[in-house]
Amino acid sequence: MARSVAYLLAALVILVILSVLCIRHHVPLIEQDLTTRSRLALNDADLSNVTIKRIDGLNVVLGGVVESSSVRQKALNTVSGVYGVFDAKDEMSELSVAPVVLQAGQHRFSALADKVQVELTGMVRDAAMRASIVGAARRAFAQRRVIDQLEEVSSTPELWTPMLRDLLEQLAGFSSGKLDIRGTHLSLVGSVTSQGRKESAAEVLARVAGDAFTQRLDVAILTPANNVIDNCQASINTRLESSSIRFDTGSTSISVDSYPLLEELADIIASCEGMVVEIQGHTDSDGDEQGNLRLSERRARAVQDHLIDEGITVARLRARGYGELQPRADNATRDGRARNRRIEFVITGN
């Protein structure tokens, strides 16, 4: 009996020794495996700045410097999802960046526009404000290129966003010009082709400036010589004498065979620099008067959209429908009705 107990104790001692040796051999392999897979997961998540400080059992302790609490949480979630990891422990530190704060008089913004592009420089509050301002510029300046040279400064006044959108819309109507903000001074300078555009700019500038800004408006009116207007009008009229813009029956869709004519008209309008063109839609007297008015307006807008696609800026085009109110011929005849269904172009210096 005593001999059996001795054998059993000896076997237990050998088992313990083997277990210890096995653990000592495999623990480093387990730690290495968790470290490797956690590191790969962090790299795949673009978190290469996060480090593996140590392995604590099946827990992975993270270190390193991160930019924000959201990045910190992303790292923890990434490693917690690694196979074999029980939990991710946080020993990371967060990068502290002091926001740039300027005095009110130091904020600035500028938009410089010509016939080809508009360049935006100066300050916006954050990425959301940048997107809003650049988006407003692209809509207002349509075919012109928008160059974004803005910088994000957190102390930029939030109220600048709607103010700049309104002023950029006015600047887009200039032949060339500049919008400038320096602290509490606001200026709009450049040239326009009508008194109406100047008055509109003055009204918007006064409204957005209020009592918060001093303001300066320096706008010259460029009026084309009458003979230049007449020559441009004559070129369009001559081209329309032999052809007319046609639409699918009862529709606002322009017939495909009218596309070459519209391309030629776009070239003429583009050469009439600084002039605004009113696209006038007309119908015959068949049908309801209000229905004809709506149809003529939609057709005029369809022509406007096509000319914009051809490269004419929206600021130089106006679309208006007159329905059956301005007949060119007698609606009692078939030929007269055909002549009354038409699109006309009237060029002005305004």
The 3-class secondary structure across 199-245, one letter per residue, is HHHHHHHHHHHCCCCEEEEEEEECCCCHHHHHHHHHHHHHHHHHCCC
Domains defined for the chain, CATH in brackets: 2-94 (3.30.1340.30), 104-221 (3.40.1520.20), 226-348 (3.30.1330.60)
CB 307 within 8 A of CB 259: no
What is the reported pLDDT for 161? 92
Q: What is the mean pLDDT of the chain?
A: 84
Name the pairing type of β-strands 342-348 and 276-282: antiparallel
- For 16-40, the pLDDT digits (tens) are 555 544 444 444 667 888 888 888 8
The continuous run of DSSP H or E covering 51 comes out as strand 50-56
- What's the pTM value of the predicted model, to 2 decimals? 0.42
Mean pLDDT in runs of 10 for the chain (350 residues)?
58 54 53 85 84 88 85 90 89 68 72 90 92 93 90 88 94 90 88 86 92 87 71 87 83 89 90 86 89 92 93 90 88 88 84
Q: pLDDT tens-digit profile of 186-208?
A: 999 888 878 888 999 999 999 99
Q: What is the pLDDT of residues 322-331, one digit of tens each?
A: 999 888 888 8
The predicted-structure confidence for 254-276, as pLDDT tens digits, reads as follows 988 999 999 999 988 888 877 88
